[in-house]
Chains A and B, each alone.
Chain A
Amino acid sequence: MHSFDYHKPSTLAEAAALHQGAEDAAYLSGGQTLLPTMNQRLAAPSDLIDLAGIGELAGIATASGQVCIGACTRHAEVAASDAVRGALPTLASLAGQIGDPQVRNRGAIGGSLANSDPAADYPAAVLALNAVIHTDRREIAGDDYFLGLFETALEPGEIITRIDFAVPARAAYQKFPNPASRFAVAGVLVADYSGDVRVGVTGAGPCAFRALAFEAALAESLDPRALEGADIEGVIFNSDLHASAEYRAHLVRVMAQRAVAQLL
């Protein structure tokens, strides 16, 4: 691993200032992607700013139709949280499917979303559960957050502080994992907001997206069969050695159908 300066600020302002003052800083959250990448010398930030000391980034709260997750909340905490399991069990279930147990004990939601791996699980939830991403500067609607491959609406140095998920009437997440890495080849979260259906898809494109054609079909009829004729348009499906674009598109449909069947 290349050398870097390590910082552990206790406030957001301090963290942002450190970032601004550094040559090429990176924030450290759970580190489950960043640290292996640095260890393989594929990333070499000049400064690493550990967000673990900032109290306000931790914690889970539920309030008026919302589940609010602090950015440094670990996947295992979300999966095991009584509050999340009570109000939004699909989110707990999704968190419990990320990586493996050890990764879930370290990895955190804010880091996952800032990294925006196209095969990460949380992005499907951000889109389908109409999330609002709070940062140290502003609020970003989930729909505006994912811009492309590893590209988000975050500006340089901006820190995710909290993610608010809107609690639907019912929801379900189905994931087809990559058999090697266990990342999502296709992950689909379907949420029913009393007739208004949102479908978030991860793993299938350069970044997570909403399957608008599926949403329209499901708004007509919340039934797995409704998706048979619905085709996602405007998305270039990923193609790699684990799944061709054609197979991925198929898997997205199957996962969506299974999610619908599960939530009914």
Chain B
Amino acid sequence: MSSATGIGASVKRREDVRFLTGTATYTDDLNLPGQVYGVFLRSPHPRAALGEIDVSKALKADGVLAVFTGQDTAADGLGDLPCGWLVKSKDGSDMVSAPHPPLAVTQVNYVGEPYGLVVAETLAAARAGAELVVTDFTELPPVMDLATAADAAPIHEGLANNLAYDWALGDAAATDAALAKADHVTKLSLTNNRLIPNAMEPRAALGKFDPASGNYELHTTSQNPHLERLVLSAFVQIAPEHKLKIIAPDVGGGFGSKIFVYAEETAVIWAAAKLGRPIKWTADRSESFLADAHGRDHVTSAELGLDERGRFTALRVRTTANLGAYLSLFSSAVPTYLYGTLLAGQYKTPNIHVETKGVYTNTSSVDAYRGAGRPEATFVVERLVETAARELGWDPAELRRLNMIQPEDFPYETPVALVYDTGNYQASLERALELADYAGFAKRREAAAVEGKLRGLGFSCYIEACGLAPSQLAIQLGAGVGLYESGEVRVNPTGSVTVFTGSHSHGQGHETTFAQVVSDKLGVPFDDVEVVHGDTGRVEFGLGTYGSRSLAVGGSALIRASEKIIAKGRRIAAHRMQTEVENVAFEDGAFISGNQRMTLQEAAFASYVPADYPPDLEPGLSEKAFYDPQNFTYPAGAHIAEVEIDKETGVVRLVKFVAVDDFGAVVNPMIVDGQVHGGVAQGAGQALLEHGIYDGDGQLVTGSYMDYCMPRADDLPDFVVDTTVTPCTHNPLGAKGCGEAGAIGSPAAIINAVTDALGVQDIAMPATSEQVWRCLKEAEASEGC
């Protein structure tokens, strides 16, 4: 059905009204009777042994009710925070996972690590109480340098070194041989800068325990409340799942950082039961900087071999990935399965080998942040390809065309374990070239030169694996859970529809798009479909929202559930129409046989008031489905960035950005464009502005918006976005996912443009004005020689 509200329509978001009028409900907006406030004790040191924690003064302060420490949670048998993905080293051994107690017990390992929780009647009293706690720290030397961390003295007691794993993928020997034979080898040493996600709503938790029923209820800022419940129940052992309800109400952005189960909500729900009072904790932004999981942070050396005709023959990648002090929930998978597997990019490179060393340092955990591994992979591939084109005098677009996987090559099996189902990479590239006015670039460059400015243009043709993930494959690769999604479609007696999804919306607009999908599938009015998410008490199960999976996996579950509704409806209609089920068709919301017609609403009513009803059919019209994808989806696209550099100051201005993406079938183009805009802005932030920096003493020096440079409106241009479509071949929507593409493609395009403008091989991200100025100065000096 195509309609003003169906699949493919830019329906205005129904959730907007509450956000626009200030009536949305974020976790910190909630208050419970008898509620008290928690403030965490956090380590000021990057590494220190925890001695005595003297809480006596704090406990005497006005309003302070309790101070809980890691000793208390340990004594109570609280389990560690787990890493949910077991990665094996290339020698077959399991990764080395350091124990991660929710509150540090014997040692703190990064600045900001929580080791205690002060609870008081008011927030002010809790803060004042926290300042009265006297902690005896014995400082230990921290491990801060990523490049040398693996072999430095171990951070964690009992570990041999700081290497969590030494993972590899691909054929090493074949790759080495092909590189040895290559006519040209392009080499780059790359840094993928540490980023701090900075969802605008800081993390928060409001925990409550009801001693009469033994029920726990936790409102928290989560992208996946069921996964949170599973971990808190099975691993941390707060309570069995049926006694633990997790609600993620309106959540103000996540970008990955709210996937993970953190120490704070764990301690809050545990302490709420200990104290017998609801406890609220909301992070200050300063706490978010210190204690949210960060993103990226790789150092990489990479080589791309080409034959005499410009064809890629081999790619060898060696990466060291910073995992921080502890393995956060998905952290181990990010620089391995979400990174190494993507190194084929859009190209027919026959030999690829990647090694990733995951290392511990005395920093906050590093885990999935928008794109999660795929931006890092794209950065390696696309920086290499662009550099190779320059070294060999190729037009970068032409070198890409030559090496791209062509439509007739699908399904295409890469040398790094994926099978791409479909795509048309060149179509996106050609459209992007047109929108970027590639042909006119030389003139724009000349015009800029007249103004004393340097113009540069850069490409990035990315691929991503989304729609995480086929469960058996994921579990085989070490995932601790399956990565299907659940959905339930409940047709109410009078024909309106309530949809329950295990996905979670924290900006993506599920309440609109999922209603579009179900309304379209069932032929019921859009306004008659309500979407429920984010509450383990209402939604059966779910794996949540990350990896651009919601529509491809969660939406597909709703299609499957809707199909079951239609199937049952056909049986009801066949009975009423006194015909066989095979004779009943379903069109535009009605069951039809010959000239007989029964609307879905009528069938629903009949199912709940089963007077004239098939005798062997259960009453009611509510169906569930668990959708397990058969493969990843492979969104891909071409991004082109154009920058202008002020030679005197080194300031880089992003003057144009074109993104042409193939997300397969699109449900709501308006929302898809918005996702691309946001992703590109985050990628531009990575390329030009953002950098999470720890100094050598282990202090986070970019710990506020005074120093961590968030992209603002005046840093960015309007974006030019468009889509090409090759529908995904293996899910019923044909959808591939769009949430991360902007952040995946854009950093490489922008850095390719900056290096093009400067005429240098590389510049580290972010390309700050001072760095650019130094590049220019060096170039001037060498020319002068």
Are A and B co-members of a single complex? yes
Residue positions of A touching B, CB distance < 8 A: 1-2, 40-41, 176, 179-181, 183, 241-244, 247, 250-251, 254
Nearest residue in A to B130 (C-beta to C-beta)? A41
Is A250 a contact of B773 with CB atoms below 8 Å? yes
Is B770 a contact of A243 with CB atoms below 8 Å? yes
Is B649 a contact of A241 with CB atoms below 8 Å? no
Which parts of B737-785 form the interface with A (CB within 8 Å)? 768-770, 773-774
The CA-CA distance from A178 to B337 in the complex, in Å, is 38
Is A40 a contact of B286 with CB atoms below 8 Å? yes
Is residue B697 contacting chain A, with contact meaning CB distance below 8 A? Answer: no
Binary A-proximity of B649-674 (CB < 8 A = 1, otherwise 0):
10000000000000000000000000
Given contacts A179-B709, A180-B708, A241-B702, contact A251 B649 (CB under 8 A): yes
Is A254 a contact of B710 with CB atoms below 8 Å? no
Contact partner of A176 (CB less than 8 A), chosen from B128, B284, B649, is B649
- Chain A nearest CB: distance from B282 CB in Å? 14
Nearest residue in A to B691 (C-beta to C-beta)? A241
Residue count of chain B within 8 Å CB distance of chain A: 24
The CA-CA distance from A244 to B770 in the complex, in Å, is 8
The CA-CA distance from A77 to B693 in the complex, in Å, is 38
Which parts of B699-739 form the interface with A (CB within 8 Å)? 701-702, 705-710, 715
Is residue B648 contacting chain A, with contact meaning CB distance below 8 A? Answer: yes
Is residue B481 contacting chain A, with contact meaning CB distance below 8 A? Answer: no
A251: chain B residues at CB < 8 Å are 649
A1: chain B residues at CB < 8 Å are 124
A183: chain B residues at CB < 8 Å are 706
Is residue B689 contacting chain A, with contact meaning CB distance below 8 A? Answer: yes
Residue positions of B touching A, CB distance < 8 A: 124, 127-128, 131, 284, 286, 648-649, 689, 693, 701-702, 705-710, 715, 768-770, 773-774
Nearest residue in B to A183 (C-beta to C-beta)? B706
The CA-CA distance from A41 to B649 in the complex, in Å, is 37
Nearest residue in A to B648 (C-beta to C-beta)? A254
The CA-CA distance from A99 to B284 in the complex, in Å, is 22
Is A254 a contact of B705 with CB atoms below 8 Å? no
Is B286 a contact of A180 with CB atoms below 8 Å? no
Is A181 a contact of B706 with CB atoms below 8 Å? yes
Is A241 a contact of B773 with CB atoms below 8 Å? no
Nearest residue in A to B649 (C-beta to C-beta)? A254
Given A181-B707, A241-B701, A241-B707, 17 new contacts (CB under 8 A): A2-B128, A40-B284, A41-B127, A41-B131, A179-B768, A179-B769, A180-B689, A180-B706, A180-B707, A180-B710, A181-B705, A183-B706, A242-B707, A242-B768, A244-B770, A247-B774, A254-B649
A244: chain B residues at CB < 8 Å are 770
Is B705 a contact of A180 with CB atoms below 8 Å? yes
Nearest residue in B to A258 (C-beta to C-beta)? B648
A250: chain B residues at CB < 8 Å are 773
The CA-CA distance from A111 to B661 in the complex, in Å, is 51
Nearest residue in A to B690 (C-beta to C-beta)? A180
Is A247 a contact of B709 with CB atoms below 8 Å? no
The CA-CA distance from A241 to B704 in the complex, in Å, is 13
The CA-CA distance from A242 to B773 in the complex, in Å, is 13
- Chain B nearest CB: distance from A127 CB in Å? 23
The CA-CA distance from A40 to B709 in the complex, in Å, is 20
A-B contact pairs, 6 of them (CB 8 A): A2-B128, A41-B131, A241-B702, A244-B770, A247-B773, A251-B649
Is B770 a contact of A247 with CB atoms below 8 Å? yes
- Chain A nearest CB: distance from B724 CB in Å? 34
Is A180 a contact of B770 with CB atoms below 8 Å? no
10 shortest interchain CB distances as A-B pairs: A180-B709, A181-B706, A247-B770, A179-B709, A254-B648, A180-B707, A243-B770, A254-B649, A241-B701, A179-B689
The CA-CA distance from A138 to B715 in the complex, in Å, is 44
B702: chain A residues at CB < 8 Å are 180, 241
- Chain B nearest CB: distance from A146 CB in Å? 22
A243: chain B residues at CB < 8 Å are 770
Is B693 a contact of A241 with CB atoms below 8 Å? yes
A181: chain B residues at CB < 8 Å are 705-707
The CA-CA distance from A143 to B416 in the complex, in Å, is 68
Q: Which of B689, B693, B706 has the most chain A CB atoms inside 10 A of its CB?
A: B706
Nearest residue in B to A186 (C-beta to C-beta)? B649
Q: Which of A180, A243, A244, A247 has the most chain B CB atoms inside 10 A of its CB?
A: A180
The CA-CA distance from A254 to B649 in the complex, in Å, is 7
The CA-CA distance from A242 to B649 in the complex, in Å, is 13
A2: chain B residues at CB < 8 Å are 128
Nearest residue in B to A253 (C-beta to C-beta)? B648
Nearest residue in B to A119 (C-beta to C-beta)? B706
- Chain A nearest CB: distance from B697 CB in Å? 14
The CA-CA distance from A20 to B62 in the complex, in Å, is 30
The CA-CA distance from A179 to B284 in the complex, in Å, is 22
- Chain B nearest CB: distance from A19 CB in Å? 25
- Chain B nearest CB: distance from A212 CB in Å? 23
The CA-CA distance from A2 to B131 in the complex, in Å, is 11
B709: chain A residues at CB < 8 Å are 179-180
Nearest residue in B to A181 (C-beta to C-beta)? B706
Q: Which of B693, B707, B768, B770 has the most chain A CB atoms inside 10 A of its CB?
A: B770
- Chain B nearest CB: distance from A38 CB in Å? 12
B773: chain A residues at CB < 8 Å are 247, 250
Is B286 a contact of A179 with CB atoms below 8 Å? no
Is A179 a contact of B705 with CB atoms below 8 Å? no
Nearest residue in B to A100 (C-beta to C-beta)? B712
- Chain A nearest CB: distance from B62 CB in Å? 11
The CA-CA distance from A251 to B770 in the complex, in Å, is 10
- Chain B nearest CB: distance from A131 CB in Å? 27
The CA-CA distance from A181 to B709 in the complex, in Å, is 8
- Chain A nearest CB: distance from B290 CB in Å? 13
Nearest residue in A to B705 (C-beta to C-beta)? A180
A247: chain B residues at CB < 8 Å are 770, 773-774
The CA-CA distance from A242 to B708 in the complex, in Å, is 10
- Chain B nearest CB: distance from A221 CB in Å? 20
The CA-CA distance from A251 to B649 in the complex, in Å, is 7
- Chain A nearest CB: distance from B766 CB in Å? 9
The CA-CA distance from A1 to B125 in the complex, in Å, is 10
B710: chain A residues at CB < 8 Å are 180
B769: chain A residues at CB < 8 Å are 179
B768: chain A residues at CB < 8 Å are 179, 242
A241: chain B residues at CB < 8 Å are 693, 701-702, 707
The CA-CA distance from A226 to B707 in the complex, in Å, is 34
B284: chain A residues at CB < 8 Å are 40
The CA-CA distance from A241 to B693 in the complex, in Å, is 9
B131: chain A residues at CB < 8 Å are 41
The CA-CA distance from A179 to B702 in the complex, in Å, is 13
The CA-CA distance from A40 to B287 in the complex, in Å, is 11
Nearest residue in A to B701 (C-beta to C-beta)? A241
- Chain B nearest CB: distance from A40 CB in Å? 7
- Chain A nearest CB: distance from B451 CB in Å? 14
The CA-CA distance from A241 to B127 in the complex, in Å, is 30
Nearest residue in A to B650 (C-beta to C-beta)? A247
B708: chain A residues at CB < 8 Å are 180
The CA-CA distance from A224 to B34 in the complex, in Å, is 67
The CA-CA distance from A73 to B707 in the complex, in Å, is 28
Q: Which of B127, B648, B710 has the most chain A CB atoms inside 10 A of its CB?
A: B648
The CA-CA distance from A179 to B652 in the complex, in Å, is 11
